């Protein structure tokens, strides 16, 4: 403990003083306009998180598509939402704009050597192996296998409603969190943590749900993670955590240890099953645990497909055991947090817009009855128990429009960062005013080492690209006059990251395409799932999960906003950001 006191009271303040008091050279970004620094330590960086949607959009309206932000310890960063600039960052010059050291080092400590913890050739090799795993063919086979999860979510909610048909206020957010975790656990790992069983708990479930809150408490320590990783061995890093009085740091280590232990257990179970497919005398206690769903999943879960593909690949392309383990926690966390946010937001919108909810339900009812008639499926019970195949579910026009519009206006992740690994010039689609001359400029010089913030939020709300109603939630923008889906070139299976030459038809005729100008997003021209070589590899899975859960729930129940009053006699209301 004495060592910890010395570190915290002497060494850390000294390093902080050295960073702050070092001689400052003229700012290489002095010509880029932006808001004034508000705090000696935080700059104005905290405002883009703290003040959310309103502050972010105000920045873009005032300064344009590239803005200078004052980050921690006086660092200057670029906040980017210009479409051409983002095309260069995530596609054309993605080898220059790579993930930040802080992001890579932090993710590697938490998740291991997974897809979001690697760069360069290692990342390319992992992505090449994973791309086919998330193919449409695999999604088609996976959908009916995991439909029982959505049914279970429905039954849990229905069990909390009165049997006489009256309404009852139910907090659905915890159940959406549990449901999405169970969804990705079964679909991703072929394993259940029984997250939808109210009376059961699992250490992994609690750990993965606690991960994001624990990491957020350590936000100000994250810039020092790469320094610690480069200069300290695992032994000394653990000793510092032991000595540290910072409880969230010890909590985070405990969470990571639980996640690692659980993922290793599941991994070695699956590996043993694949290596001994005909062996029936395996010690079930050691090899096949209670949560193993191998018999039901029939090898269709993402991890089993990946292990089989890896085993059959060329030795030069094969992933190591550490890399395979790294994918497991990465898949779980990436598919859990964002899906929970997206589905909860959708339910709030449906509860707010009753006509929208009714229209989706009517569309769904027609589709299920038509499908049953075309396949001579007898209606033994209600229409809401009919299971739609992947292609029918994904092509429902109004449901698709509602999901797309929600993901555009309310992206689960609003900001991502990159670091320029060499000095380069960033071209702009729309000129900005120079802070030094006041003249319009069509490009910005980005010095080596500059952190670039990709504003997904601002890009998705860009009025020049999406129209004057860009910040309005209006699903009709994704429909033709006849009510059919507006098809885009971005509706593609492969995550090739190409910028494309505009949407089909005349320029400006489709959402997110004005005069041939659009964003390089892999999904519907928006930046929600990013674009290029580091686009979200599981976006098709996420879209399928969202649609399957939403349609299963609204087939059997209506959602509305709370009518009760809280202790302040104020009507309960979810406001979001």
The set of residues, in sequence order, having a beta carbon less than 8 Å from that of 250 and lying 6+ positions away, is: 241, 242, 244
The set of residues, in sequence order, having a beta carbon less than 8 Å from that of 467 and lying 6+ positions away, is: 477, 514
Contact 104, 79 (CB under 8 A): no
The model's pLDDT over 143-172, given as tens digits with 9 standing for 90+, comes to: 999 999 999 999 999 998 888 877 788 899
Distance CA 577, CA 560 (A): 20
Please report the pLDDT score of residue 72 as a whole number: 82
For residue 80, the surrounding DSSP H or E stretch is strand 76-80
The model's pLDDT over 94-115, given as tens digits with 9 standing for 90+, comes to: 999 999 999 999 999 999 999 9
Tokens of 277: 């497919």
Tokens of 200: 């059961």
CB atoms within 10 A of CB 192: 19
Please report the pLDDT score of residue 2 as a whole number: 43
CA 338 to chain centre: 4
Tokens of 521: 């997003």
Please report the pLDDT score of residue 380 as a whole number: 73
- pLDDT (average), residues 524-545: 95
Please report the pLDDT score of residue 283 as a whole number: 47
- pLDDT (average), residues 469-473: 96
Please report the pLDDT score of residue 257 as a whole number: 95
Question: For the residues of 214-251, what is the DSSP string, one character each?
Answer: HHHTTGGGGGGHHHHHHHS-HHHHHHHHHH---HHHHH
Q: Is the pLDDT of residue 509 over 90?
A: no
Positive or negative: CA dihedral 267, 270, 274, 277:
positive
Stretch among 29-38, 329-338, 547-556 having the lowest mean pLDDT = 329-338
Q: Is the pLDDT of residue 575 over 70?
A: no
Q: Is the pLDDT of residue 325 over 80?
A: yes
Q: What pTM was computed for the model?
A: 0.89
Residue bearing tokens 């075309």: 374
Stretch among 158-172, 239-253, 426-440, 533-547 having the lowest mean pLDDT = 158-172
- pLDDT (average), residues 270-297: 70
Residue 130, SS3 per DSSP = helix
Stretch among 2-16, 111-125, 250-264 having the lowest mean pLDDT = 2-16
Please report the pLDDT score of residue 522 as a whole number: 95
Which residue from 14, 64, 4, 2 is spatially nearest to 35, judged by alpha carbons?
64
Please report the pLDDT score of residue 25 as a whole number: 63
The model's pLDDT over 51-61, given as tens digits with 9 standing for 90+, comes to: 778 999 999 99
Please report the pLDDT score of residue 83 as a whole number: 98
Distance CA 36, CA 205 (A): 43
- Phi/psi at 466 (5° precision): -100, -5
Contact 102, 321 (CB under 8 A): no
Predicted confidence band of residue 407 (pLDDT cuts 50, 70, 90): very high
Distance CA 330, CA 79 (A): 27
Which residue from 501, 541, 392, 516 is spatially nearest to 464, judged by alpha carbons?
516
Distance CA 483, CA 477 (A): 10
Please report the pLDDT score of residue 454 as a whole number: 98
The model's pLDDT over 119-128, given as tens digits with 9 standing for 90+, comes to: 999 999 999 9
Predicted confidence band of residue 554 (pLDDT cuts 50, 70, 90): very high
Q: Is the pLDDT of residue 506 over 60?
A: no
Predicted confidence band of residue 276 (pLDDT cuts 50, 70, 90): confident
Please report the pLDDT score of residue 577 as a whole number: 33
Phi-psi region of 521 (alpha: psi -120 to 50; beta: other; left: phi over 0): beta
Positive or negative: CA dihedral 256, 257, 263, 267:
positive
Residue bearing tokens 């969804």: 183
Please report the pLDDT score of residue 499 as a whole number: 35
The set of residues, in sequence order, having a beta carbon less than 8 Å from that of 232 and lying 6+ positions away, is: 240
Distance between terminal CA atoms of the chain? 41
Predicted confidence band of residue 508 (pLDDT cuts 50, 70, 90): very low
Which residue from 210, 263, 221 is spatially nearest to 244, judged by alpha carbons?
221
Which residue from 255, 258, 259, 235 is spatially nearest to 247, judged by alpha carbons?
255
Which residue from 475, 476, 477, 454 is spatially nearest to 465, judged by alpha carbons?
477
Stretch among 263-277, 398-412, 419-433 having the lowest mean pLDDT = 263-277
Residue 259, SS3 per DSSP = helix
Report the percent of the chain where pLDDT is more than 90.
63
Please report the pLDDT score of residue 227 as a whole number: 86
Please report the pLDDT score of residue 495 as a whole number: 38
> Which residue did the predictor score with more confidence, 485 or 406?
406
């Amino acid at each position: 403990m004495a060592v910890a006191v010395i570190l915290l009271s002497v060494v850390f303040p000294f390093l902080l003083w050295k960073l702050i008091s070092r001689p400052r050279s003229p700012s290489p970004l002095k010509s880029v306009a932006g808001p004034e620094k508000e705090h000696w330590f935080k700059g104005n960086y905290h405002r883009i998180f703290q003040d959310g949607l309103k502050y972010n959009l105000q920045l873009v309206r005032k300064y344009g598509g590239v803005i200078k932000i004052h980050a921690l310890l006086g660092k200057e960063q670029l906040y980017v939402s210009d479409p051409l600039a983002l095309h260069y960052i995530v596609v054309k010059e993605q080898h220059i704009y790579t993930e930040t050291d802080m992001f890579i080092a932090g993710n590697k400590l938490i998740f291991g050597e997974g897809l979001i913890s690697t760069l360069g050739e290692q990342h390319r090799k992992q992505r090449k192996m994973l791309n086919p795993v998330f193919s449409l063919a695999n999604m088609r086979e996976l959908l009916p296998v995991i439909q029982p999860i959505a049914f279970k979510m429905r039954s849990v909610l229905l069990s909390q409603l009165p049997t006489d048909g009256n309404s009852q206020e139910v907090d659905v957010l915890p159940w959406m969190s549990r449901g999405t975790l169970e969804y990705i656990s079964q679909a991703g790992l072929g394993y259940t943590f029984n997250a939808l069983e109210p009376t059961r708990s699992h250490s992994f479930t609690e750990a993965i749900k606690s991960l994001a809150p624990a990491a957020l408490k350590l936000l100000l320590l994250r810039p020092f993670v790469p320094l610690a990783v480069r200069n300290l061995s695992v032994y000394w890093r653990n000793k510092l955590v032991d000595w540290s009085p910072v409880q969230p740091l010890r909590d985070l280590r405990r969470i990571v240890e639980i996640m690692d232990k659980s993922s290793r257990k599941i991994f070695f179970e699956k590996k043993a099953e694949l290596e001994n497919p005909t062996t029936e005398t395996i010690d079930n206690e050691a090899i096949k645990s209670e949560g193993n769903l191998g018999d039901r999943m029939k090898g269709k879960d993402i991890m089993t497909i990946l292990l089989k593909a890896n085993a059959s690949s060329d030795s030069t392309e094969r992933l190591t055991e550490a890399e395979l383990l790294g994918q497991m926690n990465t898949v779980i966390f990436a598919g859990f947090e964002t899906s929970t946010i997206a589905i909860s937001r959708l339910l709030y919108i449906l509860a707010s817009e009753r006509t929208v909810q009714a229209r989706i339900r009517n569309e769904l009812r027609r589709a299920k009855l038509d499908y049953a008639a075309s396949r001579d499926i007898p209606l033994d019970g209600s229409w809401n128990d009919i299971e739609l195949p992947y292609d029918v579910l994904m092509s429902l026009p109004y449901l698709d429009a509602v999901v797309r519009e929600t993901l555009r206006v309310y992206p689960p992740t609003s900001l991502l960062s990159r670091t320029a690994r060499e000095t380069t010039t960033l071209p702009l689609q729309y000129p900005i005013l120079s802070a030094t001359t006041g003249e319009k400029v069509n490009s910005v010089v980005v010095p080596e080492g500059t952190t670039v913030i990709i504003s997904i939020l601002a890009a998705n709300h860009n009025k020049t690209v999406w129209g004057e109603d860009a910040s309005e939630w209006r699903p009709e923008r994704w429909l033709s006059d006849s009510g059919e889906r507006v098809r885009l070139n971005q509706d593609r299976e492969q995550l090739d990251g190409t910028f494309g030459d505009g949407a089909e038809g005349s320029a400006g005729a489709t959402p997110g395409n004005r005069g041939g100008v659009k964003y390089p997003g892999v999904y519907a021209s928006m930046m929600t799932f990013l674009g290029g070589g580091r686009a979200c590899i599981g976006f098709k899975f996420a879209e399928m999960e969202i649609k399957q859960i939403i349609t299963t729930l609204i087939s059997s129940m209506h959602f509305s906003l709370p009518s009760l009053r809280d202790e302040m006699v104020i009507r309960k209301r979810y406001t979001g950001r």
